[in-house]
Amino acid sequence: MGSIKRLLFVTHNYPPMPGGISRFSQSLCRNFFRMGIDVRVLTPAPPSAMEDFQVIRFSEPSKWKKLKRVAIWKPLRDQIINFKPDVIFLASSHPYGYLIYHLCRCYRIPFVVGAHGTELFRVKNNKINRLWQWLEKKGLAHAKAVLCVSKYSESLVKSIIPSANTKIVCSGVDLPFFLPGDRDIPYWSSISKIDLSDKFIVVSLARLAYWKGIDVLLQAIHQLQSKIPNLVCLSTSVGEEYNNLVALREKLSLGDRVVFLGELPREKIPSLLQTADVLVQVSRREPGEGFGLVFIEANACGIPVIGSRAGAIPEVVQEGKTGLLVDPDNPQQLADAIKSLHDDAILRQTLIQNGLLWAKGFEWSNVASKCLETMESLVP
């Protein structure tokens, strides 16, 4: 084993909380533990299934409002004193960057920060609370390294702190969990309440937020109603745009061509991907996808993908090899891309085979090894 024997992982997002940073945190910690590292997680996330390592959960009193983030101070200090970590891994600069910086400086413990996407966009463009912006910048500026999941996230870090010591360490995919499988048409027909047996199924796993571009997908489906009569879109997740998207579905007379399934248990996602014909996520440029893990998960399940030329998506989707790319906010291009995959079985199979090979390079054990190697080069 190298110089790192004890690692304290601090994250605001951890299962059962949804989202990419939550999965990033859990998967990294599980793989660090398998590599022989004594891992502890410090998080305000609610309790969930037991881990093989210790997960310390603390509460952030809602009555403290914006000051609730300081609730981490005592449990973090206690872990530093009692656990004596060799390094602290902060999952993202928001919302604990400054507090980590201050305590690590006091106790002379090195720390690294993960950099994703939306949290960096928030720091860069926070024009309302300048003090909070300044505090969060401290976490990026004084980290031993900022571990970026993509070149796009690295560019955001550099635009905030040009002198930051950035390293690119991609996110990963749990290959034993995401893999090709049989289509479960009966199950998803029962869930969606429509017969999917003869349908061309487009799936979206994106949160129902404006910047995720679900409205663009609905407009593309509207254009394809006569061209692909058996086209159906299954959209999962929840979000603030739900009511607007339901209204748009009615305005475009899409009926049961678009079904909002709500938030699904994570264990059901591979089955949905295996049942789909194509995954679509056409996010807008701001704040931009920091990585786009869903594309790799879909590739691992053996389905082609369509993404947008925005954020880190072009780094994750190899255009014409593992998927297709379209301009954001362009329903016509998206409709054309969906139709090309519907009409061209050879193209679909080419993307599927290339995607399966591409996904293997993102296996979590490889990502964790690279993270650990990077950290050990920085820690005495």
DSSP 25-80: HHHHHHHHHHTT-EEEEEE-SPP-S--SSEEEE----GGGGGGGGGGGHHHHHHHH
Do 123 and 109 share a structural domain?
yes
Do 152 and 275 share a structural domain?
no
pLDDT value of residue 352: 98
Do 201 and 96 share a structural domain?
no
Do 137 and 29 share a structural domain?
yes
Do 16 and 139 share a structural domain?
yes
pTM above 0.75, yes or no: yes
pLDDT value of residue 1: 46
Do 339 and 203 share a structural domain?
yes
Do 252 and 137 share a structural domain?
no
Do 11 and 121 share a structural domain?
yes
Residue 97 lies in a domain: yes
- 3-state SS, residue 12: coil
Do 157 and 66 share a structural domain?
yes
pLDDT value of residue 287: 84
Q: Going residue by residue through the chain, which has 380 residues, state the pLDDT in tens, using 9 for 90 and above.
A: 468 999 999 999 999 888 888 989 999 999 999 999 999 999 998 888 789 999 999 998 877 766 788 899 999 999 999 999 999 999 998 888 888 999 999 999 999 999 998 788 777 776 656 766 777 788 888 999 999 999 999 999 999 999 999 999 999 999 989 999 999 999 999 999 999 999 999 999 999 999 999 999 999 999 999 999 999 999 997 899 999 999 999 999 999 999 999 989 889 999 999 999 999 999 998 888 999 999 999 999 999 999 999 999 999 999 999 999 999 999 999 999 999 999 999 999 999 999 999 999 999 999 999 999 999 988 76
**How many other C-beta atoms can be found within 10 angstroms of the C-beta atom of residue 131?**
9
Do 221 and 320 share a structural domain?
yes
Burial 331-370 (b: 16+ CB within 10 A, else e): bebbbbbbbebbeeeeebeebbebbbebbeebbbeebbeb
pLDDT value of residue 301: 98
Q: What's the structural domain count of the chain?
A: 2
- In degrees, rounded to 5, the angle at the alpha carbon of residue 82 between the alpha carbons of residues 81 and 87 is 70
The domain of 218 spans 185-360
Do 326 and 250 share a structural domain?
yes
pLDDT value of residue 351: 98
